[in-house]
Structure 1
Amino acid sequence: MSLRVGSPAAGRVVALSAVPDPVFSQAMVGPGVAVEPVRSKSDVVAPIDGTVVTLHPHAFVVATGDGAAVLVHLGIDTVKRKGEGFELHVVKGEEVRAGQRIVTWDPAEVEAAGFSPICPVIALDASAEVLADLAVDVDVAANDVLFDWSR
């Protein structure tokens, strides 16, 4: 079975190694890619169908019924903003569909505040070998495919 993981935001897809945080760039959390988001106020959407199992203003995890979980992290060190600039549209425990709006934010405003707005999209508890067709160095719209996760 393959799980299609969509982009949470419009922007340019880059390799995880480009993320200015070793936890992500060295894939300590898991494999995936990152999206350098378009610098305008925009919605961030669910990468897969599932349940919102973790929800912070700056990060969320959506998990499928069979345990596949995808982490979306909005920017680097943005936890320090204590939710400022992030508007949540769902609650923890809510069932969501791929492409459904989760949070609204402004990457330009995050960048102006001194933080990288890059968005790692991570397959949790996975090995790099199970990810295929990684979109890298391409422009994507929200919900375009970033990679396929063989389960």
Structure 2
Amino acid sequence: MTLRISSPVTGSVVALSAVPDPVFAQAMVGPGLAVQPAAVAADVLSPIDGTVVTLHPHAFVVAAESGQAVLVHLGIDTVKMKGESFTLHVVKGETVRAGQRIIGWDPGSVEAIGYSSVCPVIALDAQSSELADVRPDGDVKAGQTLFVWHP
């Protein structure tokens, strides 16, 4: 099923290869893009319609009915924050719509303690050849399309 993946945050699109973490930069978990968010407190939105199958304060996975799943990771090394500065708005197993708020956070507080606030958006278990209409580097608003996934 063709799936439109929207940006979970407002900011600037950056290539996955620019993410300061080799697991994301080398697309070990899947291809995608990253968004450098504006450094203001905001809600992180679901990139697709689906079910929240994994939920942590710093990351979540939403799976579509087709089985395709998208990982959104809020910053790098933010697992070390143990949930501080993150607010969950949904529970694991909840059905969500694209654009629905999932987590509240403040990228500025992440950067203030020395972590990167960049947000990888990953098409899990996909091949890079399955992604199309990939948004070029530049500004993006939450809810705008980042890429289209054709499995």
Q: What are the ranges of 5 or more consecutive residues in structure 2 without an aligned counterpart?
A: none
Deviations 1:2-41 (CA, angstroms, capped at 9, x unpaired): 1100000000001001100000000001000000000100
Q: What are the ranges of 5 or more consecutive residues in structure 1 without an aligned counterpart?
A: none
Are 1:78 and 2:108 an aligned pair?
A: no
Q: Pairwise mapping of residues 1-150 of structure 1 onto structure 2 (< 5 A)?
A: 1-150=1-150
- In structure 2, what residue type is equivalent to 1:127? Q
Shift of 1:96: 0.2
Shift of 1:65: 1.2
Normalised by the size of structure 1, how large is the TM-score?
0.99
Runs of 4+ aligned residues of structure 1 deviating over 3 Å after TM superposition are none
- In structure 2, what residue type is equivalent to 1:47? P
Whole-angstrom distance in 2 between the partners of 1:98 and 1:84: 25
Secondary structure of the 2:66 match is coil
Shift of 1:66: 1.4
Identity %: 69
Question: Does the Cα contact within 8 Å between 1:33 and 1:136 map onto a contact in 2?
Answer: no
Q: CA RMSD in A?
A: 0.6
Question: Does the Cα contact within 8 Å between 1:35 and 1:120 map onto a contact in 2?
Answer: yes
How many aligned residue pairs are there? 151
Normalised by the size of structure 2, how large is the TM-score?
0.99
Shift of 1:136: 2.5
Whole-angstrom distance in 2 between the partners of 1:145 and 1:55: 22
